[in-house]
Structure 1
Amino acid sequence: MLRFRLAVAGCPRRALVLTDTPRPDCLHCAGEGGHSYDYGDYDTGEYAGSHWEFCDCWTARSVTLLPLPRWPRWLRRRHDGRDPWGPNGYSNEPPF
């Protein structure tokens, strides 16, 4: 049985998606949707990464419902330190 929920996806453009969730009472994954396996390098035995294996209770598919609009360029905040609005959202420029 599929358990749908709404989510916001951010790649390549922000969109509203309908996605499946793992079954919370699954005996194999305990509602996490799968298991993570760590593996190491064959020669040195050092940690080399991890691999995620999905459980059968979760399909991990999503369907895009509608793309979300982008903010107009004049409403976007600058992230380079030249933002005329302070960190609390108020302007720090003189009123004249």
Structure 2
Amino acid sequence: MIRLRIQVAHWPRRALVLTDTPRPDCSNCEGFGGIEYPYGDHNGEYAGSDIEFCDCWNESYRWFLMPLPRRPRWLRRRDSGRDPWGPGGYSNEPPF
């Protein structure tokens, strides 16, 4: 049985899609959709992890619903360097 959710996809353009979700009561992955296996390098340090996807979920089940509109040019965020709040939108000045 497919359990659907609405998600925003960002490639090739922003759009709403329906996607499959992992089964929450799955005994293999416990609802996460896969099992992560961390591995180490020759010194025993963490070097990354592999994931084995569970059979209760198929990541490729996606259905395109509709494209999302693009922002008009005058609403897009500009980084002109003159913004008193800085590039992140936060001020480095004390509040008083």
TM-score, normalised by the number of residues in structure 2: 0.75
Q: CA RMSD in A?
A: 2.4
Q: Could you tell me how far 1:59 is from its partner in structure 2? A: 0.4
Structure 1 distance, partners of 2:32, 2:52, is 11
> For residue 17 of structure 1, what is the amino acid of its counterpart?
V
TM-score, normalised by the number of residues in structure 1: 0.75
Q: Determine if the alignment matches structure 1 residue 9 to structure 2 residue 9.
A: yes
Q: For structure 1, which runs of at least 5 residues remain unmatched after alignment?
A: 88-96
Q: Determine if the alignment matches structure 1 residue 78 to structure 2 residue 78.
A: yes
Q: For structure 2, which runs of at least 5 residues remain unmatched after alignment?
A: 90-96
Number of aligned positions between the proteins = 87
Q: Is the 8 A contact 1:17 1:65 kept in 2?
A: yes
Q: Could you list the per-position Cα deviations for residues 39-70 of structure 1 after superposition, in whole angstroms to 9, with x for gaps in the alignment?
A: 112x3332211111111000012222222111
> For residue 76 of structure 1, what is the amino acid of its counterpart?
R
Percent identical residues: 67
Which stretches of structure 1, 4 residues or more, deviate above 4 A after TM superposition?
83-87
> For residue 55 of structure 1, what is the amino acid of its counterpart?
C
Alignment of 1:1-96 (within 5 A): 1-41=1-41, 43-61=42-60, 62-83=62-83
